[in-house]
Amino acid sequence: MIDIESFVRELPKTDLHMHLEGSIEPELMMELAARNGVPLRWETADALRRAYDFRNLQSFLDLYFEGCKVLFTERDFRDVTRAYLARAREDGVVRAEMFIGPQSFTERGVPIEALMNGVLSALEGARIQHNMSAGLLISVHRHRTEVEAMTVLEQIMPWRDKIVGIGMGGAEIGNPPSGFARFYQTARERGFHTCVHAGEEGPAAYVREAVEILKVDRIDHGNASLADPDLVRDLAEREIPLTVCPLSNLRLHVVADMAQHPLRLMMEAGLKVTVNSDDPPYFGGYVTENLLSCYNALDLSVSDIVRLVRNGIEAAFVRPEERAQLIARLEQYTALFGAHLPAVR
């Protein structure tokens, strides 16, 4: 016999929507602040954790950008990336795709080399140490200008072959995707995969712009899509994946409670939804906790959970051979353990 919690934790799964800046556990935040002589408003890690009580996306972003100020050196970026990858591996993640937004750092004079070399060396280490596959997504801020985003695209070109994709996050309302058409076109022309946060706090119209104007490969969040049936049909027909982050949505009051989360309706509408952690310490859970809270609140079945994990593998920015290996690993796991669950629903 195996209980559902162990079954979900051990499932070979993906985390495709996770921000490295949002992955710093409070203890590591305190350590980095002390190492770099950065004064924090909190005396202890517990006091910092108690501050993770948000009204909306902006109130979270304020704290998130404050947290970015503890990172300076290549070693800092390596430590943060390593810590997330080790934690994700314990959580059963076999493919992680991680965002980092250079603008928070370069605006303070942190060299792009420190950031890129630190993150990429940890990524390479995870491949060797944890037999884990990891990809880097460079993210720009939508509350800054498109010209600034283009500068980021130029700065990262020396590492072109080590970056899998380009995304965009930050304050959504009032900053529609259409303002970044040239940036996304250039990113696509340079061979990057693309994604964008859309329909988290913003409307379905932003998701439509993301698909039609930015022509992204994936939508991050996309909760608002259900308000537009034509859009849902397009997303389903074109199999455009949505990287949904249920605990993030709960903690940022995108949904009033988990029972009202649209994940189940999204699945029923034929959307290729995946479950991801976004900023795990800030929102109280890694992928396993996200899956389990949906399983419990939305009365999902075990096969729904396996479907969500399979969608993650299908949505990953990996080569066909790696995708086939990940699918085989998932199928082997479900064949071994799926029949040993006590009450399968």
Residues catalogued as catalytic: 200
The amino acid occupying position 263 is L
Coil, helix or strand for 111? coil
Nearest distance, CB of residue 283 and Zn ion, angstroms: 10
> Measuring CA to CA, which residue among 77, 78, 76, 58 is closest to residue 66?
58
Which residues bind to ligand ADE, rule: CB under 6 A?
19, 22, 57, 64, 169-170, 197, 200, 248, 278-279
Q: Which 191-230 positions form the footprint of Zn ion (CB under 5 A)?
A: none
The three-point CA angle 246-92-288 to 5° equals 25
Q: Between β-strands 218-221 and 165-169, what pairing exists: parallel, antiparallel or unpaired?
A: unpaired
- The nearer residue to ligand ADE, 135 or 280, going by C-beta atoms, is 280
**Shortest separation between residue 150's beta carbon and ligand ADE, angstroms:** 20
Q: Which of 163, 86, 94, 132 is nearest to 310 (CA)?
A: 94
Cβ-based burial of 213 (10 A; exposed 0-12, middle 13-18, buried ≥19): middle
Which window, 73-81, 82-90, 138-146, 277-285, contacts Zn ion (CB under 5 A)?
Answer: 277-285
DSSP three-state, residue 244? strand
Q: Which does 57 bind (CB under 5 to 8 A by kind): ligand ADE, Zn ion, none?
A: ligand ADE
Nearer to Zn ion, 97 or 278 (CB): 278
Which residue has the closest beta carbon to Zn ion?
278
Among 97, 278, 289, 304, binds Zn ion (CB under 5 A): 278
Q: Binding of Zn ion at residue 172 (CB under 5 A)?
A: no
Q: How far apart are CA 284 and CA 53, in angstroms?
A: 11
Residue 99 CB, shortest distance to Zn ion, in Å, is 7
Q: Of the two residues 82 and 142, which places its CB atom closer to Zn ion in the complex?
A: 142
How far apart (Å, rounded) are the C-alpha atoms in residues 98 and 20?
Answer: 6
| Nearer Cβ to ligand ADE (279/304) | 279
Residue 149 tokens read as: 């985003």
Cβ 133 to ligand ADE shortest distance, Å: 22
Question: Can you give the binding site for Zn ion, defined by CB under 5 A?
Answer: 278
